[in-house]
């Protein structure tokens, strides 16, 4: 089933590529016994706050749902076949857009042969600019030629992007990551998120006291929804606004990306863009895609805890989505 919001994405092409990259050539079986469900979740190993790539076998990782240990059924490590989607929400000033494209060019050139990269435009729906490919010359050409105008689209499409990519990682035995590059300003959405003051002369007008409430409600809704789609969702904001409403927006993006298992990177200036994009690519390169089976339980949210083995834990720690959602029916 094609996830909602993806009418323009060539789903059969991308899924076919996943089958090609999977070691077995077939989708991973998703039919655990007795109604349990297998989740595929990104894990990072951190040392001094930065991702590292230690040799980590299944015996080095223990996962629990409450006191109950969960069985790890698959673990894809850095260096294995990876689908990387670069998504663009760039509609504002040309200077940070040009700097972002130059930095992306440099990072794409550094990718290893295990990477297949697809380009997606983020608007009200997701539009494929380039199907996943290892042809770097073609990718760089499409990045240079990409043009976006009009309104920001991140909030309107990020759920569909996470749904799409997490479904691919769940259905195949390859790593899947998303780097979303945005320059979105909260005032440049089709939806009015600022709750503009209706009557500035009336001190009792409630709109004076609840500026940004529509934004906060949308962030809350998205944060809850994104728990269902654990994926390395790495958002790079190349031109973050500094007013109070945009700071609320950026705090909200931290919540939304964190709920899916990713993170937000903010560029402090145009000159800072290469560093933040390099950091995002390092995080995309360093995650472990870990599949584990959760026995039958009531539908709803639940917490997981993960622990490293003794040989790694003294100097390293794990970060991963801590909250997952057990659906009422097993996903196909």
Q: Could you state, in order of their start, the residue ranges of all structural domains in the chain?
A: 35-78+288-326, 82-195+206-286
Residue 64 has pLDDT above 70, yes or no: yes
CATH topology of domain 82-195+206-286: Rossmann fold (3.40.50)
Compute the distance between CA of residue 145 and CA of residue 139 in angstroms, rounded to an integer.
Answer: 10
Whole-number percent of the chain with pLDDT over 70: 83
| pLDDT at residue 311 in the model | 82
For the segment 204-213, the average pLDDT, to the nearest whole number, is 58
Token pair recorded at residue 173: 């035995």
Q: Which residues contact 285 (CB under 8 A, 6 or more apart)?
A: 53, 78
Query: Of 179, 176, 181, 208, whose CA–CA distance to 195 is shortest?
Result: 208
Please report which confidence band the pLDDT of residue 28 belongs to, taking 50, 70 and 90 as the band edges. Answer: very low
Coil, strand or helix: which one is 169? helix
- Are residues 125 and 8 in contact, defined by beta-carbon separation less than 8 angstroms? yes
Per the listing, tokens 């950026």 go with 250
| pLDDT at residue 189 in the model | 92
Please report which confidence band the pLDDT of residue 15 belongs to, taking 50, 70 and 90 as the band edges. Answer: low
Compute the distance between CA of residue 156 and CA of residue 122 in angstroms, rounded to an integer.
Answer: 9
Please report which confidence band the pLDDT of residue 173 belongs to, taking 50, 70 and 90 as the band edges. Answer: confident
Residue 259 has pLDDT above 70, yes or no: yes
| pLDDT at residue 331 in the model | 52
Compute the distance between CA of residue 175 and CA of residue 286 in angstroms, rounded to an integer.
Answer: 11
Whether the full predicted model's pTM is greater than 0.85, yes or no, is: yes
176 burial level (CB within 10 Å; 0-12, 13-18, 19+): buried
Instruction: Name the average pLDDT for the chain.
Output: 86
């Amino acid at each position: 089933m094609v996830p909602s919001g993806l009418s323009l994405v060539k789903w059969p092409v991308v899924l076919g590529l996943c089958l090609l990259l999977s070691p077995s050539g077939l989708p991973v079986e998703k039919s655990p016994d007795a109604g349990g469900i297998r989740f595929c979740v990104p894990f990072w190993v951190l040392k001094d706050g930065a991702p590292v790539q230690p040799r980590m076998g299944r015996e080095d990782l223990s996962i629990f749902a409450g006191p109950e240990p969960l069985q790890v059924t698959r673990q894809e490590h850095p260096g294995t076949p990876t689908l990387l989607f670069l998504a663009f929400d760039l509609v504002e000033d040309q200077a940070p857009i040009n700097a972002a494209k130059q930095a992306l060019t440099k990072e794409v050139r550094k990718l290893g042969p295990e990477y297949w990269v697809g380009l997606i435009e983020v608007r009200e729906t997701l539009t494929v600019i380039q199907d996943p490919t290892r042809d770097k010359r073609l990718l760089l050409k499409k990045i240079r030629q990409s043009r976006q105008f009009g309104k920001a689209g991140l909030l309107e499409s990020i759920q569909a992007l996470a749904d799409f990519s997490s479904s691919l990682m769940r259905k195949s035995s390859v790593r899947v990551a998303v780097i979303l590059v945005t320059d979105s300003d909260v005032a440049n959405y089709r939806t009015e998120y600022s709750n503009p003051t209706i009557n500035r002369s009336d001190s009792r007008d409630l709109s004076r006291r609840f500026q940004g409430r529509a934004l906060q409600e949308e962030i809350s809704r998205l944060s809850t929804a994104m728990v269902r789609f654990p994926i390395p969702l790495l958002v790079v904001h190349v031109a973050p606004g500094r007013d109070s409403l945009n700071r609320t927006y950026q705090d909200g993006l931290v919540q939304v990306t964190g709920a899916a298992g990713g993170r937000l990177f903010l560029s402090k200036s145009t000159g800072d863009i290469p560093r933040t994009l390099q950091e995002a690519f390092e995080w995309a390169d360093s995650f472990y895609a870990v599949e584990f089976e959760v026995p039958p339980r009531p539908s709803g949210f639940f917490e997981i805890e993960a622990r490293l083995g003794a040989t790694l834990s003294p100097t390293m720690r794990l970060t991963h989505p801590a909250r997952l959602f057990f659906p009422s029916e097993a996903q196909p």
